[in-house]
Structures are given as C-alpha cells and as structure tokens.
A and B are shown apart, each in its own frame.
Chain A
Amino acid sequence: MMADNKTQSGLPPYARALGIVISDNSGPAPVIEMPFNDKVQGRPGYLHGGAISGLLEMAAVAAIHKALAERSSDASIKQVNVTVDFMRGGLTKTTYAAGHVVRMGRTMANVEALAWQDDREKPISRAQMHYLITTQ
C-alpha cells in the first residue's frame, strides 16, 4: 500500500482507478503522482497522452481547491476548456504533476499545470485550463 503521507482522499474514482495519489501537500499547490501501470500505457514503452492529461487536470483541480480553501470559500468549479501540449514522450515510470492558479477571480480561474518525470525542470507535458467559479 501507499506510504502514510500519500493519499487518494478527495480524488474522484477516475483518478483512483489510474493509481493517482497526492504525494506532497506542503507547497502552495499539491504535487500529485501517477505510478506507471498498464492502465496508463499508450504505444509500447510510452504513456498515453490521455492519461497524462488526466494527471494534469487532477493537479489543476487540486490547486484550485487548495486556493479556494485558503480563502475559506465553498465555491464549486466547472471546467470550461483545456489545452494540452505534449513536449516529451512520457516513459514507463512515475509521473508527477502540479497545478498553479495564475489568477483566481470572482467568476473564473486561469490555471496551468506541468507534468514531469525525473526532472521538474524538464516537463513532459503542460496544460492550460479555464474554470468557472460558482457559488450557491
């Protein structure tokens, strides 16, 4: 099983099924990770772009939730769109991702996320998303 500091708490069934865990929640945005397994493999020897996209989206959502919690906001979010750049082939090893809330407004948030493997300075993929912020 996973180490004590890693958790799937708060992650949806899709992320759990892919083995995604929150591994470091100490920074401004959580770092999440996806161990390599058959469910995330694309062409032989490489990750599937859709699985990388899933990891990026989970990182983005985790970053927004943390930003909202810091404002004691109970707002919910709705994704409007996403653009994913695939920059390097994802290899068959653990992949990490972290989101960054570039701007949090009253009605929308601009968020980006990076995914990397061995070296955070050499991302394999990045994503840019827009989310609607909705208060009940």
Chain B
Amino acid sequence: MNNASTSSDFPPSNRFDPEMVNNFMGKIGHGGFLNMKYSGHGDDWVELAIDWREDLVGDPGSGVIASAVVISLLDNATSMALWQRRGEFVPQVTMDLRLDYLRPSPSGQRVYGRGICYHISRSVGFVRGIAHNGDMDDPLAYASGTFIRLGGWQ
C-alpha cells in the first residue's frame, strides 16, 4: 500500500488499532477522497467501507462505481489486515494485487471490503480480499495480493 505512514507515528507500546489508523488513513489523501470508513476487524482481518457517490462512478450509464474504487478499498483493507495479524505497524508496500470482478456493485449501494491476511513470512505478507454490499455470501469481487516489508522509508 502506498498510503501507510511510518511506525514512529504510533506509540510503540500500543497494539495496532485498525479503527484508529483508519481515522487518518481514511481521512487524508486518496483515502479521504473515497471517505473510507472502518467497518470491523478480527484477529487477521479488517473491513472497511465506501459509500456510493456520483463522482466515484465508472460507468455513467448504470451508475456502477469505478473498479479502481474497489481496488483502493481492498488495498487499504488487506494492508491493515497484515498489520492486524502482526499486531504492530511496520512499513510495507503492495507488491501486487489481483481482483476478479464477479458482478458490478449496484448504483447507490455501500461497498464493503474485507481484507484477510492468511500468511506472513519474514518480509512478505500474503492477503486475500472480498468486496460485497453487506452480505459476505454475495460477493462482488475477490482479491489476492502480496505486500513487502520495507527496511525503512527514509
């Protein structure tokens, strides 16, 4: 993910808190433009959501949001799932991300993106993602990807 910050922004004693982190990741820059909201988390997953908006539409004929909005949502959610599984914030960037679009997200509907981290090696995090409109059993997209840990950004 390209929108992380350095670990020095967080008190080192605190466990990674996805809701708190989204309070700024979802408020500034691209996350702020999309107005990403925290939706929930577990031991190895984080779910975020984006509300439908006219200026997020990728197909004016149908009102379906741009597929890249779903990419951004799942990029953030999977990246946070990795931190959530680690329990701490470490600098990392997305190596690659694949999305399969099962169906369009209907006009007017909120999109949820659940990121799941299913494995971590010393330097690589392996993630999956599911996008849906409120029912996990009716997904609109699946994602898989990898993140690489950085030695330091500065």
Contact = CB atoms under 8 A, between A and B. Distances in A.
B69 interface: yes
A80 B3 contact: no
A90 B93 CA distance: 11
A86 B28 CA distance: 21
A94 to B, nearest CB: 16
A86 B58 contact: no
A80 B142 CA distance: 11
A114 to B, nearest CB: 15
Contacts of B60: 12-13
Interface in A26-48: 38-44, 46-48
Nearest to B148: A86
B119 interface: no
B3 A81 contact: no
A86 B56 contact: no
A112 interface: no
Nearest to B61: A76
Interface residues of B, number: 39
Given A43-B3, A46-B2, A48-B30, A15 B66 contact: yes
Interface residues of A, number: 34
Contacts of B32: 38-39
Contacts of A84: 71, 94, 96-98
A47 B2 CA distance: 6
Given A12-B60, A53-B72, A80-B101, A42 B1 contact: yes
Given A17-B56, A86-B95, A50 B30 contact: yes
Contacts of B55: 13-14, 16-17
Contacts of A49: 1-3, 71-72, 75, 93-94, 97
Contact of B66 (A14, A39, A80, A86): A14
Interface in B30-46: 30-34
Contacts of A82: 67, 71, 98-99
Nearest to A82: B99
Given A80-B100, A81-B101, A86-B2, A50 B29 contact: no
Interface of A: 12-18, 38-44, 46-54, 57, 79-86, 89-90
5 contacts: A14-B66, A16-B55, A48-B3, A54-B68, A84-B94
Given A49-B75, A81-B98, A89-B2, 18 more contacts: A12-B59, A14-B55, A14-B56, A15-B58, A39-B29, A42-B1, A43-B1, A43-B3, A44-B5, A47-B2, A49-B3, A50-B75, A52-B2, A53-B97, A54-B69, A54-B72, A81-B99, A84-B97
Interface of B: 1-5, 28-34, 54-60, 65-69, 71-73, 75-76, 93-101, 153
